[in-house]
Chains A and B, each alone.
Chain A
């Protein structure tokens, strides 16, 4: 099955700096890569996603890049703010029937220091 590795497990940055979280996946059949943000006491929330036919996608301060050859993808957050502090999960997806089955990375605790 699919295996997703995520690094780093913890990341501290100064407010205004950039943060980068990296993930690698094992199954070349994976074709959909979402990123989730989980705030304390809440369920994960989708923040951005990318499909395998695209190399980069941007949404305001958040961007995701995908390198299919190397099987890795990254989340970039620019101009970080204290409210960006949360746990971030990457995921890779293989379709099973009509269900898109997600395999998650182990998560990155991002702390933005004021």
Chain B
């Protein structure tokens, strides 16, 4: 089975902190994604990557950056966390041309 693992289930951070969310997949998938999930808004794409060191902006990239130094790992970075970034963050991976497999999610609270 495909496994997408997010490093934390729950995180509480202070406003202004730099936050790292880590995601690892074990199926050698080319593509990896970070989504944000908020009630009534569904899943919104923050960034995605189709290869090592490659990244593309999604629909809501402001306030976020990403890093993909190795094929299996995709990190989401909040340079200076703000309260409006309190949300559920979902990482996903997919092989080329196929659908996405999701991790369990990280619920981030910024206080």
If A1-B59, A43-B90, A43-B102 touch, does A98 touch B43 (CB 8 Å cutoff)? no
* Residue pair B96, A98 in contact (C-beta under 8 Å): yes
- Whether A104 is near chain B, meaning CB under 8 Å from some CB there, is yes
The residues of A that contact B50 with a CB separation of less than 8 Å are 96-99
Q: Is A100 in contact with B98, judged by CB distance below 8 angstroms?
A: yes
Complex: chain B residue closest to A95, CB-CB: B97
Chain B residues positioned under 8 Å from A4 (CB to CB) = 42
Cβ B99 vs Cβ A100 within 8 A = yes
Among A9, A42, A102, A106, which residue has its beta carbon within 8 angstroms of that of B100? A102
Chain A's interface: helix, strand, loop or mixed, by majority? strand
Q: Is the CB of B99 within 8 A of A32?
A: yes
Residues of chain A lying within 8 A (CB to CB) of residue B103: 43
A25 at the interface (CB under 8 A from B): no
Residue pair B96, A44 in contact (C-beta under 8 Å) = no
Shortest Cβ distance from residue B65 to the other chain A in the assembled complex, whole angstroms: 18
A-B pairs, 8 with minimum CB distance? A43-B102, A99-B50, A106-B42, A104-B43, A104-B42, A99-B31, A98-B96, A34-B99
| Chain B interfacial positions (CB closer than 8 Å to A) | 4, 30-31, 33, 35, 40-45, 48-51, 56, 58-59, 90, 92, 94, 96-105
Q: Which residues of A contact B (CB under 8 A)?
A: 1, 4, 6, 9, 32, 34, 36, 41-46, 49, 89, 93, 95-107
